[in-house]
Amino acid sequence: MSGIILHHYQTSPFSEKVRLVLGYKGLAWQSVMIPQIMPKPDVVALTGGYRRTPFMQIGADIYCDTALICDEIERRFPSPSLYPSDAPRGLIDTVAQWADTTLFWSGAIGYAFQSKGLAFIFDGVPSEVAKAFGADRAAMRGGAPRTPAPDSAAALRVFLRRIDDMLGDKPFVLSSAPSLADFSIFHPLWFVRRITPLADILASVDRVLPWMDRVAALGHGSMTKLSSADAIDLARTVSPAAVTNQIFQDEHGIALGERVNITPLDYAFDPVVGELVTANSNEYAVRRTDERAGTVVVHFPRVGYRLQRAE
Ligand SMILES: N[C@@H](CCC(=O)N[C@@H](CS)C(=O)NCC(=O)O)C(=O)O
């Protein structure tokens, strides 16, 4: 057992990215199903406020954001690597970041949430549940609108041509082996493919669907179920791991040990408050104590997150 607990839900694209990474690395992991909308009391007990999906727990360490989750999985389980040697690591990370932001929001999500897509997603779902989902996501975006469907469709076609071109005669986008870029590009397209009345767009190029089948075939590793209450109990009974990279990189005039809050810069602006224990070149971490989870350390990537001194 890897010690990895993934808090996620079935239809979450970013969770699918991590499930496939776990599959590629052949890991055994524990699965906690979490709610799709707020309130999420058991999530917040562990994260301190971060509400996005998924997050990863290893003992009393909580990893937020799939960029950092994949870094941490790679650090602990380096083989097979998410960075095959025939592609530059900087390129892999840059393509992955583009896919997790622009491809996801401006391409897949704007396209999927057109009226035909919504009718498919919420078919048979009580109207108050669909309404609650819409209100939750509008609040999470802080009022920012989704990209309109026709603009997303146009962008998605351009992106698909670019992905098709990247594939060329290789089995994976940047290499003969899967890289992090494959998992990041896969998950927004996986979400579109699930919406059968809209999935035809993926066949507008030749190489994408066969590549998606190759990525899907990597599987999800071996998973056992865990309740959120048991995950919280587990956090309480162990101590957070010792900090591994102590090289402090200060950009804010905030020292280690100060009380800070960390918030996503793009959406879901729920702050996590705690004592700053790590600020290295790639990651922040804060230590906080929760009534139910005890003392936990919550980790964030530096890219895409705002660090401030807590008031
Ligand atoms: N940058 C984040 C984005 C995560 C994200 O937006 N996840 C979606 C689900 S796929 C989400 O949090 N939706 C709201 C929710 O689940 O409450 C990451 O890479 O983990």
Closest by CA position to 211, among listed 248, 259, 160, 255: 160
Residue 11 amino acid letter: T
Cα 147 to averaged position of ligand 1 atoms, centre (Å):
17
Q: Is pLDDT of 121 > 80?
A: yes
Candidate from 6, 38, 40, 53 with most ligand 1 atoms within 8 A of CB, to mutate = 53
pLDDT at 249: 96
232 and 201 within one domain? no
Closest C-alpha to ligand 1, atom 16: 53
| One domain, residues 113 and 180 | yes
CA distances from 9 to 31, 51, 127, 213, 225 (A): 9, 13, 21, 21, 12
CATH number for position 114: 1.20.1050.10
Residue range 211-216: mean pLDDT, rounded? 98
In this structure, the answer to whether residues 99 and 191 fall within a common structural domain is yes
Domain boundary among 185, 216, 247: 216
Looking at the fold, whether 67 and 106 belong to one and the same domain comes out as no
Q: How far apart are CA 190 and CA 202, in angstroms?
A: 10
Residues 159 and 123 in one domain: yes
The answer on 189 and 141 residing in a single domain is yes
Residue list, ligand 1 pocket, CB within 6 Å: 12-14, 36, 51-53, 65-67, 100, 140
Going from the Cα of 14 to the center of ligand 1, the distance in angstroms, rounded, reads: 6
Please tell me the distance from the alpha carbon of residue 297 to that of residue 63, in angstroms, as a whole number. 9
pLDDT the model gives residue 1: 86
Q: Check residue 244 and give its pLDDT.
A: 78
- Ligand 1 geometric centre to CA of 66 (Å): 9
> Domain ends where: 166, 184, 216?
216
- Examine the domain organization and report whether 99 and 211 are in the same domain: yes
The mean per-residue pLDDT over the stretch 256-278 comes to 97
Residue located nearest, by CA, to atom 18 of ligand 1: 65
Mean pLDDT of the 188-216 span: 98
Q: How far apart are the C-alpha atoms of 56 and 52, rounded to whole Å?
A: 11
Nearest alpha carbon, ligand 1 atom 6: 52
Average pLDDT, the chain: 97
C-alpha of residue 15 to centroid of ligand 1, in Å: 8
Cα(11)–Cα(97) distance, integer angstroms: 21
* pLDDT over threshold 90, residue 303: yes
Asked if residue 152 and residue 177 are part of one domain, the reply reads yes
Q: What is the CATH number of the domain that holds 49?
A: 3.40.30.110
Distance in Å, CA 168 to ligand 1 centroid:
30
Q: Distance between alpha carbon 82 and the CA centroid of its chain, in Å?
A: 15
* Residue 296 confidence class, pLDDT cut points 50, 70, 90: very high
pLDDT of residue 245: 75
Q: Whose C-alpha lies nearest to ligand 1, atom 14?
A: 52
Range of weakest confidence among 61-65, 140-144, 170-174, 182-186: 140-144
Residues contacting residue 255 through CB under 8 Å, at least 6 positions apart: 276
Let me know whether 75 and 161 are in one domain.
Answer: no
Q: What is the pLDDT of residue 243?
A: 84
Question: For residue 208, which amino acid is it?
Answer: V
Q: What is the sign, positive or negative, of the torsion defined by CA atoms of 13, 17, 19, 24?
A: positive
Letter string b/e over residues 212-229, b meaning 16 or more CB atoms within 10 A of that residue's CB: beebeebebbebeebebe
Task: Note the pLDDT tens digit of each residue in 82-97.
Answer: 999 999 999 999 999 9
311 band by pLDDT with thresholds 50, 70 and 90: confident
- Whether 256 and 186 share a structural domain: no
Cβ–Cβ under 8 Å, residues 283 and 301 = yes
Q: Which atom of ligand 1 is nearest to the CA of 104?
A: 6
Ligand 1, residue 34: give the atom nearest the CA. 16
Last residue of a domain, one of 216, 231, 260: 216
Structural domain total, the chain: 2
Task: Return the ligand 1 atom nearest residue 266 CA.
Answer: 1
- Does residue 133 sit in the same domain as residue 205? yes
Domain that holds residue 277: 5-80+223-309
Domain check: are 227 and 197 in the same one? no
